[in-house]
Structure 1
Amino acid sequence: MFICGVFFPQNPVWAHTPLDVTANEAGDKFTGLHAIWHDEHGESGLTQALQAYEQGEFHTLETAGSTGLQAGVFWSHFSLHNRDSQPVTLHIEYVDHQLVGLQVFSREKGSREAFREISNLSIYQPFDRRQVAHNRFVFPLTIAPGAAEALMVKFDPGELGVIFPSLRIWSPQPLQQNSKGEISLMAFLFGGYFLMAIFALVGAIAINNKILYFYSFYCASKILVWGTVLGYTHQYLMKGSFHWGHATLSGAVAIMAGLFFARTFLKTRRHTPKLDALLQLMLLNVAFLVGCVLLDWKALSQISMIIALLCYPLVVPIALIRWRQGENAAGVFALGWATLVLGLLAQAMRDLGYVVHNPVNYYWPPVASFVEMLAIMVAIGLMVQRLRLQKDRAEKKYLQQLEISKTDLELLVQSRTRELEAAKARAELEARTDPLTGIHNRRSFFEESNLLLKLVQRKGIPLGILMLDIDRFKSINDMHGHLIGDQALCATARVIAQHVREVDVFGRIGGEEFALLVSADGPGTLAIARRIHRDIAKIMIKSAQGPVQFTASIGVAQLQGERDVLELLQHADSALYRAKRAGRNRVLPYVTVDTDA
């Protein structure tokens, strides 16, 4: 088959020692799988590896090409034979990206000299220290004419990892051409991610749509994760230094972005709250993963990443449930997400050694991820189309209803207007009325009294004023409670109201103080005051301690040229003060000269 313009055989040649090579190797020969030794402790050097080889501990790898997820390091021994009459320079490529270090030792067949190190590659080294500029580990090897070169290779995955102890043999120029093809493929994918992210971001800003914001971030995270996982971030951006956690952190960002987008797009919080709780737990695990990377906890981060990848496919059944609930876009979303899950499953099967490593399943995950984003874009389009149709139907229905019910709407407006006018009248009344007794409050009393004062001054009508205070009202509250006190105030107001005519003005101007403005001369005002005083004394209120009775003190004043009600009220207040000093429970008129002084 052809991948990126380079031929890859479906059944590659797994060579036995020695493997014949020429100056025209096109990457169709693989070596390294027939003599493998696993050092579980990961502490072995070349000497221990050679001893293990001499003791027959090297064996053929029994899986399809991967060691699976294991701790420790692996060693491979093989030989390459140059059958040409000219020296051959080869580039030996490690076939995968999941490797921390690659150390290579060499000696010619039959030589008594010790093995010499010819390459020592590590992701922790600056990229420019690599012997061959490639996103995967590649080391050069020159073999003399007719000679055989024996190699001992150490594969280091870190504390826990997957190793493909398979090395691919290239001549320099074909490897360079193949690399250009791979870079072109990834440039196409990354360019697509970038365009989708930009378009979504512009749309999100234009219509202020949260779903498009999350989609844009999710697309951008794809560039980060695949660029880092496949080694391009180290090759082009972070050339000086690299860390084991960069790939894990980029994966965590992509998973977190995907989960946030899924929750928002599928509206799980509203429609599937129990499943939304599961997504929230997955987000907490990703947050824990980020914390493990920042704290350099490798083992915990690997466990957390495995949990995150195992839970990631659960989004598919959640999307299918939303599809069954009537959200058609969720079906397309489920299809796109399932494509990514299949890609990750293919990678897992390859990593565990169940399927052979080849360029197809190597690039399947990023290509599947790209297809996922395209499917999600289609799903977003379906969602937007559905919302537009709903909006159009709603507008049409609204216009029809508006046309049919125009008269009803006018009646409703009229009814509402009347209600508002009534509410306004009630509000104005409440603003002018004492809330406890229902009579004029202080402000309203003075407004009405001033109007009456102007009228009587213009007509020459006599005007009197009463100022009344309940005697020892505080003791009623203290002995019987404020509820009885309120009842006493209401009963007093009712008694006074019985003596109020339509032209009179009556209000509560203080706590237990009342004022009454009457159109009457001096004797008439006093007569009204005495009747009110008599009736108040007859009030009886039931309480838990027994019947409650009380009296009142009343000060009376007569209009004699005062310019406003406040001045007249001060005269009545002066008379009331005299009544209080005289022993309460009485009616006293205002006099110019205070005889009690």
Structure 2
Amino acid sequence: MQIDTRSLANNFLTPSIGTYAINLLFLFLILSLSTSIFAKEPIFIEESVNGLSIKDSIMVWHDPSDQKSLEHVIEVFQAGGFEQFDSPGSTGFIKGAIWSHFTLQNVTTDKVELALEYVDHQLISLEAFSTEQSADLNFTSIANLSLLDSFNEREYPHIRFVFSTTLQPGQTQEFLVKYSSQGSGYVFPALRIWTPSNLQKMQNLESIGLSFLFGGLFLMFVFAFVVGLITRRKLYFVYSIYALAKIVAWATIFGYTHKYVLSTNFHWSYISISGAFTIFCGLVFTRMFLETRKYTPWLDKFLLFMIANAVLLFVAALLHIKALAILSITVALLLYPVAFIAGIRRWSQGSKEALVYAVAWSFLATGLVSQALRDLGYVEHNFVNYYWPPLASYTEMIVIIVAIGIKVLTLRQQKIVAEKQYRDELEKSKIKLEVLVGERTIELQQQKLKAEIEAQTDSLTGTKNRRSFFSESQKFIADCKSQSLEFSLMMFDIDHFKSINDTFGHACGDEALKMFCKIVKARIRETDIFARLGGEEFSLLMVGSREQALQMAERLRKDVGSIEIETSKGTLTLTTSVGLSHMNAENSIDELMHQADAALYMAKHKGRNQVVEA
């Protein structure tokens, strides 16, 4: 029904007073109807309509109870209860249902088949009624769609609610559409109008785009999982789970899970559950990647709060507490920039990969925040911000895997540097140890040599001791015999040595022994063996003939006799008695010593200070 306002105005201006009053009353009624029932101009439909939005051409009414009948709604509409919808897109978070009214007029000369598509996925049920424009408003049901029904029952196998209508040439139809969240929720009381063929084309484009997104996320999942198996790094496994969770979440949100996996017994809570798990995985990955617990503890508390909120969303969805679930998901979306701030903070602390992560998260955060603002009714609903969150999510995952690569490369470089430092330190330690071992070896050798010398040397006089004398004399005699060399053995005894100790003291006695040895050592050769056998007794093995031995013994006796030691008790002089024995073919060292000792005894018995030959 259309109003010819020009004809009404002409009648109203006729000079007849009677008709003037009647026309005035009629015009008032018509204008009243015009401001209520026909407050919006019809939406003109042409032959090839392609996603025409009706948002600016609708009137809406809010039913808080979500229980009002169609008859009651018609009464409200006739009474002017419907108002112009002036929100950019959403009604915001409300309880109950929204009814909308709009009019379609076919301005072509052909019949037009139309597909009317709901613009969003966040709706539990949609009912549509239509009537040919007339005064009686006899609306009949043309669609009753529910998220809880089997997907196969839908007229259009579309991921969003779609219902159809047909307009005859020049026909005008009015529509009442009920949008219900079955409780509290966000409603976008708007539709897009398509021809069935154009809708199918758009659906195909959407499917291709989302398939590309899901395929990319799946490749990231496989890549991260395989790299995790190779490197044994937990970060890659968490990322792979995060990528898989995103596939499930976006597939569920956009209706593909309902269409292909759970065509029956689908429930709105599955969307919240998958979203909660994805948010949880993303935040766990963020804390691990940025190491916020270690480096930014105050921001880490915000991330822990966000994780707790994700758990709350999960529980609310499991318990079908829809209002709490919607509130929780809105809070989660609005808090997403916190992770971006954490990334910038870690970058300021010197983490290069954190900047790349912050850039990646900024894509996701802006997309999800825009979604939250769109749901709250502050941002217009359109294809750009509808698909911005999944596209931003996909971009985030790509950039994050680059950030992971940078992090792993940084860790590898740090490992290489650390290993080099370790090798350098190990080499330095090795060199130091070798030096210490060398020094210690030399020290031990010196100590060993010193011990050997001490074991073979008389500590007082520095000559060989009894043990050393017998040890070396065996070899000395064997060498001489093998080379047919003559040798002799001398036994020395300092005369009256006990009397020297008693008279001049032991210190003078020790000094006398030292002087004695000094005199003897000065006369003998290196090949000769001179030793202190004990007390004041000494022995000397020397190479040479009998005559040479006698001459050496006399010379040594005289040299010792020339020793004078000044003491506090006067001058101390020394004399020595010498016993001499010579080799033969059968002599051993014991026999030579026995013979020399007997000769020494004879020298003492004859008066001392003389040489006696055995």
**In 1, distance between residues paired with 2:314 and 2:220?**
26
The Cα of 1:111 is off from its aligned counterpart by 6.8
Give 1:271 shift.
2.3
- Alpha-carbon separation, structure 1, partners of 2:440 and 2:356: 48
Partner of 1:449: none
Residue 140 of structure 2, aligned match among 108, 116, 141? 116
State the match for 1:224 in structure 2: 248
1:245 aligns with 2:269: yes
Does 2:133 align with 1:75? no
| Equivalent runs, 1:88-103 vs 2, <5 Å | 88-103=112-127
**After superposition, what is the alpha-carbon deviation per residue over 1:255-299, rounded to whole angstroms, capped at 9, x for unaligned?**
000011011111122223343333223222322222222222223
Larger radius of gyration: 2
Residue equivalent to 1:160: 184
Alignment CA distance shift 1:413-1:360 (3 Å): farther
**Residue 217 of structure 1: CA displacement?**
0.7
| 8 Å contact kept, 1:104–1:152 | yes
Aligned partner of 1:277 in structure 2 is: 301
Aligned to 1:235: 259
What's the counterpart of residue 44 of structure 1? 68
**Residue 203 of structure 2 aligns with which residue?**
179
Q: How does 1:342-421 map to 2 (within 5 A)?
A: 342-410=366-434
* Rounded Cα–Cα distance in structure 2 between residues aligned with 1:355 and 1:75: 21
Counterpart check, 1:321 vs 2:345: yes
Structure 1 residues 112 and 53, CA gap change in structure 2 (3 angstroms): closer
Are 1:200 and 1:212, in contact at CA under 8 Å, matched by a contact in 2? yes
Kept in 1, the 8 Å contact 2:43–2:57? The answer is no
Residue type of the alignment partner of 2:364: L
> CA–CA distance in 1 between the matches of 2:379 and 2:364?
18
Give the Cα separation in 1 of the matches to 2:403 and 2:239. Answer: 11
Aligned length: 403
Q: 1:287 aligns with which of 293, 298, 311?
A: 311
**Secondary structure class of the residue paired with 2:350:** coil
State the shift of 1:69 in Å.
Answer: 1.5
Structure 1 gap ranges (5+): 1-14, 418-597
1:25–1:171: 8 Å Cα contact kept in structure 2? yes
> Could you tell me which amino acid in structure 2 is paired with residue 34 of structure 1?
I
Q: Provide the secondary structure at the position in 2 that maps to 1:241.
A: coil
TM-score by length of 1: 0.64
Q: Which amino acid aligns with 1:19?
A: I
Q: 1:193 to 1:113 in 2, by over 3 A?
A: same
- Structure 1 counterpart of 2:82, from 42, 58, 64: 58
Code of the residue aligned with 2:330 in structure 1: it is I
Cα distance between partner residues in 2 of 1:394 and 1:29: 63
Alignment of 1:390-539 (within 5 A): 390-410=414-434
| Cα contact 2:353–2:406 (8 A) shared by 1 | yes
Distance 2:436 2:285 in 1: 44
Matching residue within 146, 154, 164 for 1:130: 154
Provide Cα deviations, 1:364-418, integer angstroms capped at 9, x if missing partner: 111111111111111101101111211222233333444444321346789999x
Measure how far apart 1:251 and its partner are. 0.8
Instruction: Tell me the amino acid that sits aligned with residue 102 of structure 1.
Output: L
Tell me: CA distance 1:327–1:409, structure 2 relative to 1, closer, same or farther (3 Å).
farther
Cα distance in 1, alignment partners of residues 221 and 237 from structure 2: 9
Structure 1 pair 74/238, CA: closer, same or farther in 2 (3 Å)? Answer: same
Indicate the larger mover: 399-408 or 131-140: 399-408
Instruction: Give 1:265's aligned residue.
Output: 289
Q: What SS does structure 2 have at the residue aligned with 1:189? A: helix
Cα distance, 1:413–1:326 mapped onto 2, change above 3 Å:
farther
Question: Aligned to 1:158, what secondary structure does the other structure show?
Answer: strand
Q: Could you list the per-position Cα deviations for residues 422-467 of structure 1 after superposition, in whole angstroms to 9, with x for gaps in the alignment?
A: xxxxxxxxxxxxxxxxxxxxxxxxxxxxxxxxxxxxxxxxxxxxxx
State whether structure 2 residue 225 is matched by structure 1 residue 204.
no
Contact 1:32 1:167 in 2 (8 A): no
- Which ranges in structure 2 are unaligned for 5 or more consecutive residues? 1-38, 442-614
Contact preservation (8 Å) 2:90, 2:377: yes
RMSD: 2.2
CA distance in 2, matches of 1:156, 1:414: 90
Residue in 1 that maps onto 2:477: none
Alpha-carbon contact 1:32-1:76 (below 8 Å) kept = no
SS at match of 2:54: strand
CA distance in 2: counterparts of 1:25 and 1:413, whole angstroms:
94
SS at match of 2:175: strand
Call closer, same or farther: CA 1:355–1:276 in 2, change over 3 Å. Answer: closer
Correspondence for 2:365: 341
Instruction: Report Cα offsets for 1:309-354 as digits up to 9, x if no partner.
Output: 3333211222222212211111111111111110012212222233
CA contact (8 A) 1:33 1:166 kept: no
**Aligned position for 1:84:** 108
Sequence identity of aligned pairs in percent? Answer: 43
TM-score by length of 2: 0.63
Contact 1:32 1:78 in 2 (8 A): no
Change over 3 Å in CA distance of 1:415–1:243 after alignment to 2: farther
Aligned to 1:144: 168
Distance 1:123 1:258 in 2: 28
Q: What SS does the aligned partner of 2:100 have?
A: strand
By how many angstroms is 1:19 displaced?
1.6
Note the C-alpha offset of 1:171: 0.5
